[in-house]
A and B are shown apart, each in its own frame.
Chain A
């Protein structure tokens, strides 16, 4: 393996590749940082460019875009409380309070360092685990997925500091909304009212960007118009000035960052674990890790008020998914998420047949891909570091100048992937719903995650019911399902006791 990896480095370590990686990461960060556009949009837009590259360069470039896009999403979440993608939503919970305190650069550094560390850990796991993984993955059928998703819902209900019941209501409202569209079993339409745009259900981008990013832009605009006007020129105080005035440091010594090593490793492992199971996705990893870190913390009440551990938990976990997501992609030919599916599309175009024989048939390219991923992490750190200076400058712009373009970008971001005007109306409707939910103390992120996982939850549940003919005793035969269901019960009972 080491020998293969060295050969991979030999093939991938060229100036051209480094340049493509750097270009990919830069474009990824920029696109990911635009509210409304995430790594998936970035990859979809940039894949045609790769037609003109060699396979290794093309894949290195796309890996860069994916890494940059995933970490770039944290930028608007931290600076504007307006996460461009659901996967960065958890970064806003503590990042934005930090930025408001004037520690925006520190928050961005925490985010970048965690992304790169989490990503590196996950890449190493990918290289080591890709071969033995295939056998384990096949153990996960619909029953196991159903129990994992139930366990996730239980954990997520404890994420916000508010009431568990309100969080559960928000989650299952999301699951309900996900059931709009074609029934997964007999393909009849549900709640579509004959509207063809609803046959596939509501679009995730529209729901997520509307209720998360757009709602917070609207909230800010309302506050600017009707909220208490800050006295005089104090409003124009820029973040660096605030930093200078309050005497807060912008520096983040590497030693201080690594003093959070427990959180870093826990989050990277959660992210890698979630990433290895196809379909669960980046957002779930981020929130599970955020929840786990809060649970493990000695001061859980400090989360949501600007605790850097919250940023580390989110960013280390969501970036860790990027690497480990390729485990099922390479071991089984099953893409772990949309980004991996796009990567598979690029593989096919460049003559690499995805599937369980990818490693034996195209080992040279795969190991060059691994090498490129490790190289990309170093490049990512360097480029991200420069980027922070630029984002810091953006943070100094007055809100009145930043919010209108963000508003427009949200609309563009929703329109781009499917080019549907209907989705824009859906997004605006969810922006209003998001505002109402915030007022009522319902966690909006729970709605989004419920929606995100709802389809998978329903499908797995109904697959299990069909497969085992509604015989519940089969749960006993599956140790994986048994463990996760027991954990679900434990988490819920503990939450009920505390309330």
Chain B
């Protein structure tokens, strides 16, 4: 038994080593032949924990992007501080296109405004927007209000609680209360997995949703879209942009460190535009996650990010 085990072990070890060596050669060879970008694997940093919607999307996207670029794209998760740890790493990486970030724009915009971090929005090159997080204010289907105006009216006579998901969401919902002259209490939750049961179990009156409400079908109703446009799945419900002139950043984007060479950006833009049409990725995003595919090129995205950042500053000033 022991001898057998040793032999099997040795065989397995040899197998692994040979595989690793072969892999190393396969990666090294094209590198020697071509000098044009990309001549080595590209690392895509996702600053969130494994298992979330961004990470899930990122894994499938990386594969499609790799095919489009003709190079391997390796996903690395660097979770922490609402995305600030991964964003710091990318901001400080060499501007050669081999280290990219796939994150929500809040990871880039919110932390520099509110926390002590070593980067700002100017430390990134914005390459493309992939999709928009479908953020909204939602309530239980049997709640005594059907629109956001009715919610405000209800809040004038009742003390309401809502489930928030971190500082950005709390800031926007409290900003709304301030503008409307009502008061409500934010109950902090760690994501939709905690907030939705609170809402369904009647612990809170309404809730922020980062898109998870779409999985609950007609048990939920959407009161207002929190992003700059209406939700893809609820086109009849007004957006916060229409009603209050501000919006929660919702861009899911690809960015690199500031100062990426123009030809690298152009190459990445083209590859990303191709990758997001990959049927497997489209199915994952639109069918399973219920997000729209919303491509934006580098120029449009950069302008959009500037606008979003101004809105964030306005909300922050108002609630402080």
The answer on a CB contact under 8 Å between B59 and A48 is: yes
Min CB distance A497 to B, Å, is: 37
Binds B, one of A282-290, A316-324, A349-357, A367-375: A349-357
The answer on a CB contact under 8 Å between A466 and B197 is: no
On whether A349 and B59 interact (CB within 8 A), knowing A189-B115, A354-B215, A467-B185, the answer reads: yes
Closest A residue to B200 by beta carbon equals A138
The answer on a CB contact under 8 Å between A393 and B5 is: yes
Chain B residue contacts of A419, Cβ below 8 A: 76, 78
In the complex, B317 has a CB within 8 A of chain A:
no
The answer on a CB contact under 8 Å between B78 and A418 is: yes
- Contact partner, B287, options A48, A185, A351, Cβ 8 Å: A351
Alpha-carbon distance between A357 and B212 when the two chains are bound, in angstroms: 13
Binds B, one of A103-111, A151-159, A328-336, A445-453: A328-336
In the complex, B117 has a CB within 8 A of chain A:
yes
In the complex, A344 has a CB within 8 A of chain B:
yes
Chain B residue contacts of A463, Cβ below 8 A: 187-189
In the complex, B217 has a CB within 8 A of chain A:
yes
The answer on a CB contact under 8 Å between A355 and B215 is: yes
In the complex, B37 has a CB within 8 A of chain A:
no
Min CB distance B27 to A, Å, is: 17
Chain A residue contacts of B302, Cβ below 8 A: none
Chain A residue contacts of B216, Cβ below 8 A: 333, 355-357
On whether A348 and B187 interact (CB within 8 A), knowing A182-B81, A335-B51, the answer reads: no
- Contact partner, A196, options B49, B117, B170, B283, Cβ 8 Å: B117
Chain A residue contacts of B88, Cβ below 8 A: 196
In the complex, A459 has a CB within 8 A of chain B:
yes
Chain B residue contacts of A354, Cβ below 8 A: 215
Chain A residue contacts of B215, Cβ below 8 A: 333, 353-357
Closest A residue to B163 by beta carbon equals A463
Min CB distance B277 to A, Å, is: 18
Q: For B188, B202, B290, which residue has the most chain A Cβ atoms within 10 angstroms?
A: B188
Chain A residue contacts of B115, Cβ below 8 A: 189, 199
The answer on a CB contact under 8 Å between A466 and B185 is: yes
The answer on a CB contact under 8 Å between B60 and A345 is: no
Alpha-carbon distance between A354 and B51 when the two chains are bound, in angstroms: 12
The answer on a CB contact under 8 Å between B80 and A418 is: yes
Alpha-carbon distance between A364 and B267 when the two chains are bound, in angstroms: 43
- Contact partner, A349, options B166, B200, B202, B284, Cβ 8 Å: B284
Chain B residue contacts of A393, Cβ below 8 A: 1-2, 5
- Interface size bucket, A side? 35 or more
Min CB distance B282 to A, Å, is: 12
Closest A residue to B85 by beta carbon equals A196
Indicate with 1 or 0, residue by residue over B43-63, a CB within 8 angstroms of chain A CB atoms: 000000111110110011001
Min CB distance B304 to A, Å, is: 25
Indicate with 1 or 0, residue by residue over B106-123, a CB within 8 angstroms of chain A CB atoms: 000000001111100000
In the complex, B203 has a CB within 8 A of chain A:
yes
- Contact partner, A418, options B2, B79, B166, B186, Cβ 8 Å: B79
In the complex, B84 has a CB within 8 A of chain A:
yes
Alpha-carbon distance between A393 and B7 when the two chains are bound, in angstroms: 14
Min CB distance B290 to A, Å, is: 8
In the complex, A258 has a CB within 8 A of chain B:
no
The answer on a CB contact under 8 Å between B56 and A349 is: yes
Alpha-carbon distance between A96 and B82 when the two chains are bound, in angstroms: 41
The answer on a CB contact under 8 Å between A200 and B53 is: no
Chain B residue contacts of A137, Cβ below 8 A: 197
In the complex, A342 has a CB within 8 A of chain B:
yes
The answer on a CB contact under 8 Å between A348 and B188 is: no
Chain A residue contacts of B290, Cβ below 8 A: 353
Chain B residue contacts of A334, Cβ below 8 A: 193-194, 196-197
In the complex, A194 has a CB within 8 A of chain B:
yes
In the complex, B145 has a CB within 8 A of chain A:
no
The answer on a CB contact under 8 Å between B52 and A345 is: yes
The answer on a CB contact under 8 Å between B201 and A141 is: yes
In the complex, A28 has a CB within 8 A of chain B:
no
Alpha-carbon distance between A51 and B118 when the two chains are bound, in angstroms: 36
In the complex, A266 has a CB within 8 A of chain B:
no
Between-chain CB contacts (< 8 Å), 11 pairs: A138-B202, A186-B167, A196-B85, A196-B88, A332-B196, A345-B55, A348-B53, A349-B60, A418-B77, A466-B161, A466-B187
A contact set with B: CB distance below 8 Å: 44, 47-48, 51, 137-142, 182, 184-187, 189, 194, 196-197, 199-200, 278, 332-335, 338, 341-342, 344-345, 348-349, 351-357, 389-390, 393, 417-420, 459, 462-463, 466-467, 469
B contact set with A: CB distance below 8 Å: 1-2, 5, 49-53, 55-56, 59-60, 63, 76-82, 84-85, 88, 114-118, 161, 166-167, 170, 185-190, 193-194, 196-198, 200-204, 212, 215-217, 219, 283-284, 287-290
Which 8 A-B residue pairs are closest in the complex by CB-CB distance?
Answer: A355-B215, A199-B81, A138-B201, A187-B167, A341-B51, A345-B51, A141-B203, A200-B80
